[in-house]
Chains A and B, each alone.
Chain A
Amino acid sequence: MTRDPWKAPLRRRELLQGGAGLALGLGLAGCGVGNQEQASKEQTERVVEAKVDGDLVYFNWSEYLEPKLIKAFEKQYGVKVRESNFDSMQGMMAKLRSGNRYDLIFPSSEWVDRLRKANQLLRIDLDQLPNADTVYDYFATPWYDPQADHTVPYAMYATGIIYRADKIGDMSGSWNDMVNPTADGRAFLLDDFQEVIGAGNLVSGAELNSVDEGDVEKAKEWALSVKPKLRGFSTDDVQNMVSGNAWIHHGWNGDVVNIRNQVDKPENYSFQKCSEGIPLGTDCFAIPANAEHPGTALTFINFILDPENASKNIEYMGYPMPYTGPDETFAGLVKDDPAINVTVEDLESGQQFENLGAEGRRLWDRTWTEIKAG
């Protein structure tokens, strides 16, 4: 009846036809969720020379490398460093998986193992890195990279308990200091499934990485017994300690250095390595299989390995780097509380977070959900 185009009834079929092609296109594009490019062995095992071959596409945690060194590298080699950051290993993986191309990434040892086994890392020939001779001998055969030909260690961390020496009297040296009565309601566990279940395993005398159901059940019971005394789960140990909300914090050694840099009385902030076991981890330099400028990446690694640069970097980020020479810089930073340091002896006696395998990881994930939701 009406000719007014604004009032004419819409016909469902017309709209559907218009949208169908589009929906199909998007649906097909959506298949990209898991489209990891499979690199061939020849491609990842070729020797790359440490020669600048373009701008560096750099992907790291934020504030984990001295920005002045990046500026200096840009100036010295006449390239740009295009920086982006991730805030978790899973976040890093999601970006890699969706096809983004980076020249340099900083995976933890567990992720190195997983990426290497999936042939996602380019070979790193140590002959190309003259400065690599300072790297601790221990890292000639690390568990995650037995030939040391796909990574260079970047930093080491140890997990323990950060505490306020001025508020908490005596610490017993055990993980059970998490429930120190003085800190009731001012204690935080890390919001990290590996750290909490790992610590729980150590408390009951199991191996750090145990995926035995009985062990993991005991770890869960430990975490649930600590939970009512907690103020929260958080990975922001620095902020929680600096703000005074936490007196006891399950945390990382390097963060004590960062806390101390931000407070008036640094001597009040101490670190305890727990007697039942010290979980250790390593973050590494690695080059993804699809990197466009691996030569620049190698040049950059060698640049950071330079002892003077590494020392500057340690002062900035507050974590020990496993290089002879620069390690003295870190030891100097923490000379009044040597527990903050990670030494070669720690590496040999401590327990490192390892690859749990798909099944083990599922068990730990499910247990973690039970701890958080319970």
Chain B
Amino acid sequence: MDGDQGGLSGRFAARTLFPGGFWLLAFFAAPLGLVIAVSFGTTDELGGAIYGWYPENYSRVFDPLFAPVLLRSVGYALATVVLCLLLGYPVAYYIARFGGRRKQALIALVVLPFFVNYLIRTYAWVAILSDEGVINGFLGEPVRFLNTPWAVIGGLVYGYLAFMILPVYAALDRMDPALIEAGKDLYGTELSTFIHVTWPTTFQGVLAGCVLVFLPAVGDFVSAQLLGGPGTYMVGNLIQQQFFGAEDWPFGSALTTVMMLFLLVFMVFYLRSAAREART
């Protein structure tokens, strides 16, 4: 199969990978290497990172102090995934099945908020939710929305909902509608057809959506920073603080590296599931 026979043509195919490979090396592998290198370093008098061998940066990561921060981040991210699924699946379902000629336009609307920076959109929520903000202006009696865990989760759902809708939509759009008709022909109710036909067929899309929402949500710091209160400190905030407050890039890098390894577990789980699905 390979070796001599595929030699020349293999080289040609390899060349087509260079632009993408270059991109990944320059903007992913190299910065990642820097993060890992800095994570073993220390700092100078002016807070600058210096390379070196200080593995104790890593032992600090496992301080029990950070366990509640990690648990909180995972909890918020899981709640975000569930809410995104509950909100996103019906939207994707409607667009895929009943969007008709307007399908493309509706999908464009889902993506439209991305034209505005996430930070700015989150600031808009501050104005909407604050005590003398838009919603409380209607309610009269002020309700405290802002600076609560709910506001943080809400901000995450708002920020990452499209990452759920798009893969689920793709899965639903690929699905042959005849399958649903077949389910109904076999005396399936609307619900049992959904449970036994539509859901399993689109499950890989749902899983992809869950991973795409969970990964950025667990590392997010903007939502907790702007919408959160004193008790909503997330891993992202902890890492951000090491870089912008504590002048401790090495410790921030060690936290980042450990966090990436932790998230890699979820990624590997997802990739194996997707690979299994592709084989069947």
Contacts and interface: CB of A to CB of B under 8 A. Distances in A.
Partners in one complex: yes
Given A2-B6, A30-B30, A120 B12 contact: no
Contacts of A361: 247
Contacts of A239: 126
B122 to A, nearest CB: 13
B37 interface: yes
B124 to A, nearest CB: 13
B246 A231 contact: no
Interface in B136-170: 144, 146-147
B13 A93 contact: no
A204 B1 CA distance: 77
Given A91-B244, A120-B46, A5 B21 contact: no
A368 to B, nearest CB: 7
A11 B25 contact: no
B247 A10 contact: no
Nearest to B227: A232
B96 interface: no
Contact of B46 (A23, A97, A192): A97
Interface string A6-41: 111111001100110011001100110110100000
Contact of B132 (A4, A243, A358): A243
Main secondary structure of the interface of A (DSSP, over half): helix
A3 B38 contact: no
A346 interface: no
B52 to A, nearest CB: 10
Nearest to A186: B131
B21 A18 contact: yes
A373 B45 CA distance: 26
Interface in B1-60: 1-2, 5-6, 9-14, 17-18, 21-22, 25-26, 29-30, 33-34, 37-38, 44-51
B65 A1 contact: no
B13 A369 contact: no
A5 B17 contact: no
Interface of A: 1-11, 14-15, 18-19, 22-23, 26-27, 30-31, 33-34, 36, 88, 90-91, 93, 97, 114-115, 117-118, 120, 185, 189, 192-193, 227-228, 230-233, 239, 243-245, 358, 361, 365, 368-370, 372-374
14 contacts: A4-B9, A8-B9, A15-B14, A18-B14, A18-B18, A26-B30, A33-B48, A34-B49, A36-B44, A114-B46, A230-B229, A239-B126, A369-B241, A373-B69
Interface of B: 1-2, 5-6, 9-14, 17-18, 21-22, 25-26, 29-30, 33-34, 37-38, 44-51, 65-66, 68-69, 126-127, 130-133, 144, 146-147, 228-231, 233, 237-238, 241, 243-248
